[in-house]
Amino acid sequence: MTTQLNPYLGFRDSTREAMEFYRSVFGGELTMSTFAEFEASDDPSEQDKIMHAMLTTGEGLVLMGSDTPNRMEYRPGTNYSVSLSGDDEPVLRGYWDGLAAEGTVVMPLEPSPWGDSFGMCVDRFGVSWMVNIAGAAG
């Protein structure tokens, strides 16, 4: 079982362009999914926005990003999170519990449309975290 720690960048409407740029700089394989693909937004203007992008390079670098939904605040300069992802549910839930304690839960760690468990929180020091547990939904 493994856990990965990755930077996760937030944009308003430019994730596709930004991630293509980072691919031109770092190389690697880029995958992107829209909000429509996961039926993750009722807002028609968000259907083509990128819900999740991941750039993986041959050197082992992983950079993730997404467009920020209209209902969520977006402020350049604070548009980043740290992503913890993997399949070790007890370890990741332990990290979640520790990070969320005395912090703010933005989205509870619960089943997601893509089949994993996912949550977002801001720790007591103001750092934004995302936790994704592979296959833990249900």
Domains of the chain: which residue ranges?
A: 3-133
Backbone dihedral angles phi then psi of residue 43, each to the nearest 5 degrees: -80, 115
> Do 119 and 131 contact (CB within 8 A), yes or no?
yes
Whether 1 has a pLDDT exceeding 70, the answer reads no
What's the pLDDT score for residue 135? 86
Could you tell me the two tokens for 21? Answer: 């740029």
What's the pLDDT score for residue 138? 57
Bigger pLDDT: 117 vs 1: 117
Residue with tokens 């893509």: 114
Bigger pLDDT: 122 vs 79: 122
Could you tell me the two tokens for 35? Answer: 């909000």
Give the residues across from 104 on adjacent strands.
Answer: 122
pLDDT tens digits, 15-67 = 999 999 999 988 999 999 999 998 877 888 889 999 999 999 998 889 999 99
Q: What kind of architecture, by CATH, is found in domain 3-133? A: Roll (3.10)
Whether 102 has a pLDDT exceeding 70, the answer reads yes
pTM above 0.85, yes or no: no
Q: How would you list the strands of the sheet with 117-122, edge to edge? A: 29-34, 50-56, 62-67, 3-11, 80-86, 128-133, 117-122, 104-111
Q: What is the mean pLDDT of residues 74-103?
A: 90
Helices (H), the chain: 15-26, 89-100
